[in-house]
Amino acid sequence: MTPQRSTLLQARKVYSQCARLVESRAQATGVSQVLSDQIIGVGIATDWVRRAAEMEDIEYLGALLNESARRASFVELLRYGFSWFGLNAIFSRPALLHLIGNPANNSEYDAFLVLYNVRPVPNASVLEAQLHKLLSAQTSPRLPNVPSGTTVSTLHAIYAKYIPAGKVEGRAAKALRSAATSGNISALNLPTLIYGFRNWFVHGNALDGSFGTRPGFLDYVGILQQGLADVHLSTAIELQKRL
């Protein structure tokens, strides 16, 4: 089992303890709106984090997908998604989020930052450097209005291929687009990269083709997942203290 999945299992255990704590309080005092929101949020987080940690593979009906070279990429995309859904269950509910802190602004990214900043992610600077290296790697995919064989950064390729222009963008998306345009990828910090991948994933973009190699894509998702797993564990521990 990977370190990321082991960390998620630790987080799931603490979330489960939080769920039992809140449930016992509800049985003693009755189910208020706040307690209901806390029970539901922690329960959803526990469920998704467990699925993220314990998922081994995806089984399809047809041999074509089961034997596809992209199979592992989609497993890890889903693992990231499951993990993100669990964190969303916490920061989208004020009854849980406000136990830890209040976001600076009324945006999902700022709510996520409250949980990200509970405690420093171990080796965050190392993770950032690894992600920067992967996003800076030169690749030559087929791009619109670009001569065949032209090399660009992986981040530039992602934006040119997959991200529609003209959409309303939040702070993280603007930072990523600016880095893709300017080439200043080293300015991107870990929470921006974790949240940015959430945008890419939720909007249905299968990105492994822009990473030059599928191992590069798997490395990228694995590093993000480590950061996200660490955020889960610190969030679960902090909730346990404050519930």
- The yes-or-no verdict on residue 184 having pLDDT over 90 is yes
pLDDT at position 210 is 74
Confidence of residue 136 (pLDDT cuts 50, 70, 90): very high
Which tokens go with 65? Answer: 């997908």
What would the pLDDT profile of 200-243 be if each residue is shown by its tens digit?
A: 887 656 677 777 778 889 999 999 999 999 999 999 999 999 99
What would the pLDDT profile of 66-97 be if each residue is shown by its tens digit?
A: 999 889 999 999 999 999 999 999 999 999 99
Please tell me which residue, 101 or 205, carries the higher pLDDT value.
Answer: 101
d(CA 12, CA 17) in angstroms, rounded, equals 9
Q: If you write DSSP's letter for every residue of the chain in order, what string do you get?
A: --HHHHHHHHHHHHHHHHHHHHHHHHHHH---HHHHHHHHHHHHHHHHHHHHHH------SSHHHHT-TTHHHHHHHHHHHHHHHHHHHHHT-HHHHHHH---SSSSHHHHHHHHHTTSPPTTHHHHHHHHHHHHHSEE----TTS-TT--EEHHHHHHHHHS-TT----HHHHHHHHHHHH--GGG--HHHHHHHHHHHHHTT---GGGSSSHHHHHHHHHHHHHHHHHHHHHHHHHHHHH-
pLDDT at position 96 is 98
Looking at the chain, the whole-number percentage of residues with pLDDT higher than 70 is 98
- The yes-or-no verdict on residue 164 having pLDDT over 80 is no
Please tell me which residue, 169 or 96, carries the higher pLDDT value.
Answer: 96
Mean pLDDT of the chain: 93
Domain spans, the chain: 3-242
Mean pLDDT of 21-49: 97
pLDDT at position 85 is 97
